[in-house]
Structure 1
Amino acid sequence: MKKPLQFQDIPFEETLPEEPPAPALADLFGKTPVKRKGAWKYWGASSLQGLINTGTHQLLAASPFGFVTAFGRHLSHAARIRFQNRIFAKRIARNLFALQPELKNNPAEQRKSLVRWWQNISSTLAEFAKANTIWTRGRITVHGREHLEAAKALGGPLVIVSMHLGTWEAAFTAFHLDLAPPCTGPFQPEPCRFKNRIVYNLRRKRNQYLFPPGQKSAFRLHRLLTGGAANLMIFIDEMRDNQIYLPLFGRPVPDAGNGVVAIKLANAAGGTILPVYLRRKGSRFDLIIEPPLAPSSDAKTRYPVEETLHRLNDVFEPVVLRDIEHWYMLSELRLPEGFENDQARQDHIARLRARADER
């Protein structure tokens, strides 16, 4: 019988995503065009961008929080103009307007909403540099602590599920340091190796193990949870196969992805699913802890997958619609063709937005 896995059994260095091999410096001036192009990209453009990213991160980490938020908002205008003709930027605008049917035929309000989305997301990206201190400096107000205690009382590890709203990395920090320590989970690496190093160093400072994709990581998460060594936090609006599958927005329930992983891990570990999310309040945040999902009486299937995905969607879809101008994953959502002209879908979205406003 294997002994339960503990964090001290895992080298922290293995939470750093694998990096591409460095091309030989000689390839910079080699005769092979493909190798020469790859070498210049690795040692030239990527390294220069990495130095800029690292320097900016260090500058923001040392700056007052209010300045960091304002810095992000200030840069958002340039970013919006720079990328306005890119496919992803057009997709952001289309999604934003389609999910706010009340703005239809009102281009002035649509434009204001789009400007606010860019401002909020730019602030979020800048505030990543402060993710370790947003919680410790008291910039997060917790609502629903009684739901956290109720979840703990149900027994087993917590499986904390969330959406990419607000500066979501700070939610990782809050649960890991104080609310439900220790807290682990998966994450999706950035394409840039320098950004991954920034993320790695930030998490190392708070000693939080978050694992990149792969079978080895999945195996470790399973063992950590089933062995009672950790709670899990997982974001179920991740991109998979060039699509965001949750919230559903009237689409079919997915048969794979982080939502399914969360449910299966909760079942395997006898855990309790707890929905949470952040809401921005200027340069502060509310951390909303929703009631835990009550498990079924079936010991073998604590949480039926399809039913539980619908229950999670019922929690998060109205929230995302209400806070759509703060949802980072909007840029990767591919709504069905004709979505904004489907009256039944638009009525459904309007009802959910109204329900969220009442919360």
Structure 2
Amino acid sequence: MTPDDIPISETRAPWIPRPPLLSVFGDGKAKKAWFKWYIQSGLLVPVQLLMLGILWLTPLTLVDRFGCLLGRLIGAQQRKSRKFARELPDRIAAINPALSSAENREAAARTWFEQQGVTHIRFGLMDRYTEGDRMRLHGVENAWPLRERDQRFIVACVHLGDWESMGNFSVASPGAHSPIGLYEPQKTNFENWMVSRKREAKNLYVFPPGMKSARHVAALMKARKTDINIFVDEVVDGQSRFPFFGRKPYKHGNLSRLAHMSKKYRMPVVPVYMLRGERPGVDIHVLPAIMPESLPEDDYEAAIKERVNAVYEPVIRDNITQWYMLKDTPLK
């Protein structure tokens, strides 16, 4: 079995049903659902498509400046209304003590909002940022030999820099095939349509949650015909608990799935992360594979979790302003 044996339509997020028209007069949750369906995925769609078209024709340096400005404006508004935004300087200082002074933590918080503005602006333009020599690969010698030996592997990743370029990276390697992955759907039908459209164009099989997806992934892993991309810092129960930063490993989520799959299918784990530099484009870093034979059999899953954490914790600490999941990370 290969990914091409599965209809790619089964990778699409479930359709979010239309709420009642009069739910705009309901409680806060009902109003939010109404706004997302009728406004964000309705009235504003032509505006969003027009903006995307304009940005597609705009020089990338100007696109990034616009993203920074947008992030700055949103940050100023959220510092007044959102608890996480007010806590952001403290979260930064807790993770990176080098930024613990009041001046440094406030500056880092402002930079974080600017970087997230760039993240959102680049989201629909990733093909421009990864075309030609704008996708700069570092350390690919750590992964390509595995592919050349027909050794399938798990690609671990985090929401750092231009993490949405994972799809572009996945199809850029020698012997590229249809890699698979797991994802959490977006909050509106329009966003889900945008994501699915981009992934289907690259023949990427990235599955939403659900039992059908779990059966597909299990069958593909058993057949050993594909790699799998797994983001290990996703939100579980309202929080992102990876990296550990001194906390105990969380028992649920993608890191546990990665550890289980690696042990069950004897698959190496190749850590990958993306960073944004001064030049337009994406720097993709591929680190040495964690091989199954290097792990103790009697404590395999715990050991691989610690190894993956040891890779990403210093990278995220040193590049905290480009880490999207900072907003979902608990202080303790």
- The alignment's TM-score, normalised by the length of structure 2, stands at 0.88
CA contact (8 A) 2:135 2:282 kept: yes
Matches within 5 A, 1:7-86: 7-23=3-19, 27-28=21-22, 41=35, 42-44=37-39, 46-85=41-80, 86=82
Aligned CA distance change for structure 1 residues 205 and 153 (closer, same or farther; 3 Å): closer
Q: In structure 2, which of residues 307, 312, 316 is the aligned counterpart of residue 311 of structure 1?
A: 307
Consecutive unaligned residues of structure 2, counting only runs of 5 or more, are: none
SS of alignment partner, residue 243 of structure 1: coil
CA contact (8 A) 1:172 1:233 kept: no
CA contact (8 A) 2:19 2:34 kept: no
Looking at structure 1, the residues matched to 32 and 160 of structure 2 have their Cα atoms a distance apart, in angstroms, of 36
Matches within 5 A, 1:1-359: 4=1, 6-23=2-19, 27-28=21-22, 41=35, 42-44=37-39, 46-85=41-80, 86-104=82-100, 106-152=101-147, 156-178=151-173, 180-282=176-278, 283-296=280-293, 304-336=300-332
- Larger mean CA deviation between 229-238 and 172-181 belongs to 172-181
Q: What displacement does 1:19 show?
A: 1.7
CA contact (8 A) 2:3 2:180 kept: no
SS of alignment partner, residue 274 of structure 2: strand
Aligned CA distance change for structure 1 residues 242 and 293 (closer, same or farther; 3 Å): same
Aligned CA distance change for structure 1 residues 276 and 114 (closer, same or farther; 3 Å): same
CA contact (8 A) 1:166 1:326 kept: yes
Of all paired residues, the percent bearing the same amino acid is 26
Looking at structure 2, the residues matched to 154 and 267 of structure 1 have their Cα atoms a distance apart, in angstroms, of 20
Deviation per residue, 1:277-299 (Å, 9 max, x gap): 11211223321111100213789
> Given residue 291 of structure 1, which amino acid in structure 2 is its aligned partner?
P
> Given residue 191 of structure 1, which amino acid in structure 2 is its aligned partner?
K
CA contact (8 A) 2:154 2:269 kept: yes
Looking at structure 2, the residues matched to 329 and 270 of structure 1 have their Cα atoms a distance apart, in angstroms, of 29
Looking at structure 2, the residues matched to 226 and 118 of structure 1 have their Cα atoms a distance apart, in angstroms, of 42
Consecutive unaligned residues of structure 1, counting only runs of 5 or more, are: 337-359
Looking at structure 2, the residues matched to 175 and 125 of structure 1 have their Cα atoms a distance apart, in angstroms, of 21
Deviation per residue, 1:191-237 (Å, 9 max, x gap): 11211111111112222121111121122122122213321111100
CA contact (8 A) 1:155 1:272 kept: no
Looking at structure 2, the residues matched to 210 and 99 of structure 1 have their Cα atoms a distance apart, in angstroms, of 31
Deviation per residue, 1:159-187 (Å, 9 max, x gap): 00011111111122112243553221001
Q: What displacement does 1:74 show?
A: 1.8
Aligned CA distance change for structure 1 residues 33 and 84 (closer, same or farther; 3 Å): closer
Aligned CA distance change for structure 1 residues 61 and 308 (closer, same or farther; 3 Å): same
Deviation per residue, 1:94-147 (Å, 9 max, x gap): 21122222333x322222211111111211111111223432332121111221
Q: What displacement does 1:9 show?
A: 2.6
Aligned CA distance change for structure 1 residues 275 and 37 (closer, same or farther; 3 Å): closer
- Larger mean CA deviation between 83-92 and 325-334 belongs to 83-92
Deviation per residue, 1:10-48 (Å, 9 max, x gap): 222222211222246xx4499x968x9689543346523
CA RMSD of aligned residues (A): 2.8
- The alignment's TM-score, normalised by the length of structure 1, stands at 0.82
CA contact (8 A) 1:96 1:324 kept: yes
